[in-house]
Every structure is written in C-alpha cells, then in structure tokens.
Structure 1
Amino acid sequence: MRDHRRAGEFEAFVAGAAGRLLHTATLLTADPDTAERLLTAALARTYADWDRLRGEDPYDYARQDLAARFARTAWRRRRPRGGVLARLTPQERLVLVLRLYEGVEEEQTAAQLGLPADRVRAICLRSVTALRSRAPSPVPPRMPRRPLGARAEPAP
C-alpha cells in the first residue's frame, strides 16, 4: 500500500515537472537524446530518494541532480553543435540556465556549483554579453535587376 501511494505521488510529480525539467536539460545539452537520458537519470535518483526528501521540494532536488550530472559529464561535450546557447561553454550554459531560466538565486547556484557568488555573477554577465553580441548577420544577396522596360512575369 505504501509503495502504491509513493508511486502515485511520484507520478503526479513527474506529470507536473518533467516538461520543464526536460526543457532545462535540452537547454544545457542542445541534444534531445542526451537531455532525455540526463532527465531520466535525475528522475530515477529522485524516485530512489523520494521517501528521504521529507519536506524538501522534489523539483529542486531533481533540478540539482540534473545540474550536477550535466556538470560531471560536460567535459565530454565541449560545445554543442546547435541551439541558442551553442557559443557558451558548459559552465556558462549551466550558470545561465540555472540563474535566468530556472530562477535559482545567485548564492544557491554558487553553493551548488562550488563557486564563489562573485564568480557566478561574472559568469552569468559574461554569458549574457556573449549572447547579446551576436556576429552581424550576412548581407542577403542582391536580387538581379531587370532591364529597363522589362515586365515582371506574373506568378502562377
């Protein structure tokens, strides 16, 4: 009976939180398959520790585990091939996603990553600056000019 109640509580949690956590993982990894594996591992850890959470927010717990797993494995993927955050390093991505997307306080982010709060602030500012300073987009090719007196052909 207890396991059934526990499973029901966890299913309700996953139904409400999995979408946002998957989006967070996708922002970090820029790869849906890797993000799904990362989320699955974080949710498995959360389920294993479900009874020990006692008053802790399971979303925070799962997000912390997800971030820790990403930080441990980020050295394998220096920079992702795509995504909005592709120009950032894994550490910059992690700080930016935690601070701006997830809304985690600076001190809490610093404690979770084992960094001073000033360093987290600097990383976040550098990341935002890097994203805002996009390289100028290439000039679109010019359309060939029609000779004077030539009429445009009607569209089919």
Structure 2
Amino acid sequence: MKKMLPDDIRKQVQGLGIRHTSAGPFRGVGLKHPGIRFPSAPWLVAVLAVFVLLSSCAPKSGYKDVSVQELQAASEPNRIVLDVREPYEYAEGHVPGAILLPLGQVATQAAQLPKDAPVYVICRSGNRSAQASRTLVELGFKDVRNVQGGILAWQSAGYALER
C-alpha cells in the first residue's frame, strides 16, 4: 500500500466533493455540489437538536395513559370503560360497568361505540389495552385512555371488581 502524502489526501478528498476549512473540528465540513450549498456539521447538529427537542415537547397524538386511580376518580357521565380481555377473564372479575370487547374484535366491533365519548381501555396488565387504544385512535376515536397496569393494578389498589 502506498504511503499517502498530505497533498494526495487533499486531492482524494476534493474528488469526493468534500471541503474542509481548518477553523476547528467539524467547522466548515460539508459537501460541495454545483449550485447547492450544504450545511456545515455544527449547523446541522444544532438544527437536529432543536427538532428533537421540539418534537419531544409536542403533544402526543393518540391515546393517553392513565392510572387506575384516574379511572376510579373519573366522573364523566358519558365515559365508557372497555375491557379488552377474553370472556373467561372478564367473568372472573372486571371494573364495575365495564363493557367486554375482546382485543381481537376491537377493529370490527368498535363502530358501535360513540367516537366522542371518553373511552377508558383496560385489560389484565396494560399490554392488550395499549394495542386496543392504538386501534381505537386509528378508527377515529377522539378521547382514548389506556389504563396502565390493568386489572392487576386495579386489584392492587384495593378497588372492587364486579362479577
């Protein structure tokens, strides 16, 4: 392998369309293209950092995660509690007033529910309810709330189950 001298390296770098100024690390490094000016690395990093910061502060579209305490305290008169477990699990005990709609039927049966009412979605531990919550949002439901921890958290909090 041939030992490269600084001039050889500079020629190869220029051939790649990369320019460099010696004003500090990364300063002035960018691509060259006729008629197009590409941003230097520090500027690009700053723009990406601002984008990430703003996107993390933006309101999350979709459903909202809530605790079992928030469900217990919910006082909306038109609220719906949707239990997405299987029928045998529901029969073992569920949140008082909950409607059974197993996860596998959410996409096809959810149209029977009002899309503008608050919908609290619960399952055993919070995994199936998160899936159902995403599906409901995709179907156009406006106020979907995933109950974190599910029935297990409900029972751990000491709340009664209906059988």
Which TM bucket (shorter chain)?
A: under 0.3
**Whose helix fraction is larger, Structure 1's or Structure 2's?**
1
Q: Identify the structure with the greater strand proportion.
A: 2
Higher RCO (CA 8 Å, separation ≥ 6 residues): 2
- Which one has the largest radius of gyration? 2
TM-score (norm 1): 0.24
